[in-house]
Amino acid sequence: MSCFRRIVGIVLAGLCIGIAAIAAGCAASSEPARTIVVNPYEGVDWSTVQHHRAALHVHTLQSDGHHRLEEVLAAYHKAGFTILSITDHDNMKPNRHVEGGRVPKEQASPFPDPKPADYPANTTWPWADFGGPAPQDLGMVGIEGNELSYRHHINSFFNGFGAPDREMDEDALLLEVKKRGGLAFLNHPGIDANWWTRQPVEWYVERFQKHGPDYLVGIEVTNCSVPTEKYDEGLWDQLLARFMPHRPIWGFGTDDMHTLNSVRESDAVFPLNRLSEANVRLAMETGRFYFRKSSRRDDFRQRRRPEELFPQIKAIRVDAKAGTITIDASNYDTIKWISAPESLEPQADYKTSNAPWPLGRVVHVGKTLNYRQTPGIGNYVRVELHRRDGEDLFRTFTNPFGFAAAQ
Which residues are at the interface with Zn ion (CB under 5 A)? 147, 153, 187, 256
In angstroms, rounded to a whole number, what is the distance separating the alpha carbons of residues 123 and 156? 10
Q: How far is the CB of 232 from Zn ion (least distance, A)?
A: 12
The packing angle between helices 228-243 and 201-210, to 10°, is 50
Give whole-number Cα distances, 362 to 86, 92, 97, 337, in Å: 35, 42, 44, 6
Q: Looking at beta carbons only, is 242 or 297 nearer to Zn ion?
A: 297
DSSP single-letter state for residue 75: H
- Per DSSP, helices labelled H in 131-211 are 170-179, 201-210
CB of 156 to Zn ion, least distance (A): 12
For the CB of residue 187, give the shortest distance to Zn ion in the complex, in Å: 5
How far is 258 from 96, CA to CA, in rounded Å? 12
Residue closest to Zn ion, measured at CB: 153
Q: Which one, of 364, 366, 367, 345, lies nearest residue 356 by Cα?
A: 345
Among residues 158 and 371, whose Cβ is nearest to Zn ion? Answer: 158
Nearest partner of 362 among 396, 338, 385, judged by Cα: 338
187 vs 286, beta carbon nearer Zn ion? 187
| Nearest distance, CB of residue 59 and Zn ion, angstroms | 6
Q: Decide: helix, strand or coil at residue 38.
A: strand
Smaller CB separation from Zn ion, 156 or 399: 156
- Which is nearest to 303 in space by CA: 51, 53, 108? 53
Q: How many CB atoms lie within 10 A of CB 139?
A: 9
CB of residue 32 vs Zn ion: minimum separation in angstroms?
41
Q: Give the Cβ contact number of residue 246 at 10 Å.
A: 11
Nearer to Zn ion, 125 or 401 (CB): 125
Q: Which is nearer to Zn ion, 268 or 316 (CB)?
A: 268
Least Å distance, CB 192 to Zn ion, is 12
